[in-house]
Amino acid sequence: MRRRSEPHTFEQRLEAQRLRLELELASLPDGKQRDAVGVRIEQLQAAAEMFDFLSLREPSPTLR
């Protein structure tokens, strides 16, 4: 039977994708494709920041 790997957190998946894209960016020449990868990296960074912000918020007390 095949063993399942540990599930990765959202942050881990974002970081892995960002690292993969940064390696790809380093090998690309200037042009549209390089610009698109750069934009994608910025989007991943923004997603990580938003996730951090939202996960730090404490739940509001229930109203009675």
pLDDT per position as a tens digit, 22-50: 999 999 999 999 999 999 999 999 999 99
Exposure string over 32-45, b if 16+ CB within 10 A, otherwise e: eeeeebeeebeebe
Instruction: Give the torsion through C-alpha atoms of 44, 46, 48, 51, to 10 deg.
Output: -130
Which pLDDT belongs to residue 61? 62
Over residues 1-20, the pLDDT tens digits come to: 777 777 789 899 999 999 99
Above 80 in pLDDT, residue 60? no
Identify residue 15 by its one-letter amino acid code.
E
**What pTM does this model have?**
0.74
Residue 30 has a pLDDT of 96
CB 37, CB 24: distance < 8 Å: yes
Pairwise pLDDT comparison (40 vs 61), residue with the higher score: 40
